[in-house]
Each structure stands twice: as C-alpha cells, then as structure tokens.
Amino acid sequence: SAGVLFVHVLEREHFKGEFPPLSQTWSVSVNDPITFNTNLMGYPDRPGWLRYIQRTSHSDGVLYGSPTAEHVGKATIIEITAYNRRTFETARHNLVINIMSTEDYPLPYQAEFFIKNMNVEEMLASEVLGDFLGAVKNVWQPERLNAINITSALDRGGRVPLPINNLKEGVYVMVGADVQFSSCLREVENPHNQLRCSQEMEPVISCDKKFRAQFDIDWCKINLVDITKVVTIHSNRPDPGTGVLPDIGEYNPPSEFLKSRDFFADFLITLAVPSAVAMVLFTILGYSMCCRREGVIQLVHHSSIQKSTKELRSMSKNREISWPLSTLPVFSQSGEVVPPIHPDNYETTSMPLQTHMQGHKHIEEQMHTISFLLAPCLSLFLIIYLSFSLLWQAAM
C-alpha cells in the first residue's frame, strides 16, 4: 500500500536449491556465500523508493521502502540475481510488486524516532518492528498506526560506529497515526527538556521506560510532524516545457575532403630555430669555459716558468761575485767593523709565481662569471621563444 513500509526478505535458503552441491556424494550442500543484485527490469538500478541491504554474504538480503501515491497502479518488476561466490553460478528470479492506494493516505500525524541500539536490518525483522509498533501504540493510543519508513543513520550522514562494545549504527523509524500526539510524546517540547537537549543531556520522558527494555531512543532527535498544518510553498518556476529543442534547421556537417595543411614551416619555427640558437650559444659557452680557459692558463704557467728560470740563472751568476750577507762576518779579528758589500749588479729576489698565480685566479673568476651569466640567459631565451611559438600555434 502507498504510504506503508514494504519489506521483502531475500532468503539464502530459498536460492540454495538453484546451485549444485560441492560433491555428488554430499546429501546436504555447504554454506555457500551468496550475494544478491536487484534492479528494475530493463534498468540498471532499483526504483527511487526501494532500497536494498545485505550485511554479509552469509546473511539474507532485504528489500524495503515506502512507495508514494504516484506509484499507485504501476506494476514494478524487480529482477533478483543471486551469485554463488563459491561456484560463480547465478540464478535469477523476478519479484512483481503491485502498489495499491489507501483511503487514509497519508496519515496526518507522523513521528520519527531515532533508535540508537539497532541496525537497519535488525529493525526490519518482522518481530522487532512489531514490538516497536506495539510500544508506540501503548503510549500514543491511535486507532490506526503504520510504519511509514525506515532509514539507516548512515544514509543521514551518520558515522560508522567503532567495532567495540557491540555498537550499532542507529536507525530512523517513521510512524504515522490518525490521532493527535500523546502528552508523553510532546514532553520533549517543554523548555526544560529543550534545555537539557541543548546541553547534550538526556531529557526526562515519562514513557521512556516502556521502550528502554528493548529500544534505546534518543528523545532529543524525535521529530513530530502534523501535515495538516504544513504550509505548502508554491514556487514561481516556469513550466518545464516539453523538453524538445526548437527546430533550427538542418545540420550540415563539415566536408569529408578537408584541405591538407603543411606543418613543415611550423616544425622549423618551433623546433629547428631554437635548436640552432641553442647550439650556437652552447658552442660559445663551451669555448669560453674549456678552450680559451685552458690556453690562457697554459700561457700564464709558461710565462711564470720562464721568469723563474731567468731569476735562478741570475742568482747563480752572482754567487761567484759576492757572498750572501748572512755568511759574512760582522766583526773582523782586528776589531774593525767591515762594511757589507753591495755590488751594483745585485738584484733582490722577487715573487713572480705569486704574481702570476693572482693573475691566473683573476682570469678564472672572469670565466666563471661569464659561464654563470650565459646559462640563465640561454634558458630564459629558450623559455620565451617556446612560449611565443606555442601561442602562435594556438592562434593559428
């Protein structure tokens, strides 16, 4: 019926007979893992109002949902495909759902409860759902009471519980009745309980003990809706129309004989020109860092060796003319002071190697400076040129 919760259990035992046993000698089949796939016939998914859940491959699957008035009179055929995960065999059954209308659809007073200690497949069990509806009927006392919808807390943005202390994910259960809400259900609306809920404390509900034995209800999340007082908001949206585009003439695709384009000039501009410039710059850089540098260093070393050789030869000639000052006596035997001999052709020693090495170091620093300047300039030039080339290609 429209507006009433629909539940259909896909029992694994019912599909086991479709699959052969593990061995011909076995009289009883093993507990094969079986999963189900459900879809509307001719479509890849189920109708929007129908949901499906199966916790493990060794548990039964459950189809559940609440059809609305727009689905009345439409035969819904659900294809159920069972997969045997041991033998990879399949079995297919069809489930035909006929949706009927009800006189009192929809029920005017609806209450949604959040049960913290239940999962959705546990709540869908007929005996558990019957116990909950019985407890609600005791505190509400309606003439007609139906379960309208059941939703897992995970579908409402809830978190997956930790696998400790047997925690449950929680489930929302909406029920509808034909009489006003009882005073017990309205106790959550008084200011004292509203304050306790804002402080994340349990509200004081007189009828909670009738649920507490089996159902742990979060009374702060109860939602009471009187649809007779709900104001329908009409939007000013335009009519959606027929969905057919206006006729804008015949479509003329481009000709199959397109003019071929020569990309050789583009290739030269994009690759050949920057490659040639890069080779020239790399040649100059290599000559500056390698060839010229080694030649200058060799000339400096050769000149320093020549000057050092001349100096040593000059010192060897002066050895026979005058003795070094450190070998001459300061006082003679007669007690007279002998003046030091300073021949005119005596030349003081110099430090040519140090001078030439300083010159070599200065030249080497210049070469390094040239290298460090040429490398970024080359990279910058290539990047700018390639960017302009790509922009030009895009414009063409």
Can you spell out the DSSP letters for 105-116? PSPSEEEEEEET
pLDDT above 50 (res 214): yes
Polymer length in residues for the chain:
396
Residue with tokens 């519980």: 161
CA–CA distance, 38 with 77 (Å, rounded to integer): 10
CB 279 within 8 A of CB 390: no
pLDDT digits (tens, 9 = 90+) for 46-58: 998 999 999 899 9
User: Which residues lie closer than 8 Å to 239 by C-beta, 6 or more apart?
Assistant: none
Q: What are phi and psi of 70, to 5 degrees?
A: -70, -15
- Listed in order, strand segments (DSSP E) in the chain are 6-10, 34-40, 50-53, 61-65, 75-84, 90-98, 109-115, 145-152, 171-177, 223-226
Q: What is the mean pLDDT of residues 301-318?
A: 79
What is the CB neighbour count within 10 angstroms for residue 390? 11
pLDDT digits (tens, 9 = 90+) for 338-381: 555 544 444 444 444 444 455 555 555 666 666 666 666 767 77
pLDDT digits (tens, 9 = 90+) for 248-274: 778 787 777 777 777 777 777 777 777
CB 67 within 8 A of CB 6: yes
pTM value is 0.56
Helix, strand and coil content of the chain, in percent to the nearest 5, comes to 40, 15, 45
Six token digits for residue 369: 């400076």
Residue with tokens 């540098």: 293
What is the CB neighbour count within 10 angstroms for residue 230? 9
SS3 of residue 174 by DSSP: strand
SS3 of residue 80 by DSSP: strand
Residue 89, amino acid: E
Residue 304, amino acid: S
pLDDT band of residue 290 (cuts 50, 70, 90) is: low
Residue 372, amino acid: F
Least confident of 9-13, 297-301, 329-333: 329-333
Residue 185, amino acid: L
Residue with tokens 């109860």: 222
Q: What is the mean pLDDT of residues 69-83?
A: 89
CB 186 within 8 A of CB 225: no
Q: How far is C-alpha 395 from the chain's CA centre?
A: 35
pLDDT of res. 113? 94
Q: How far is C-alpha 384 from the chain's CA centre?
A: 35
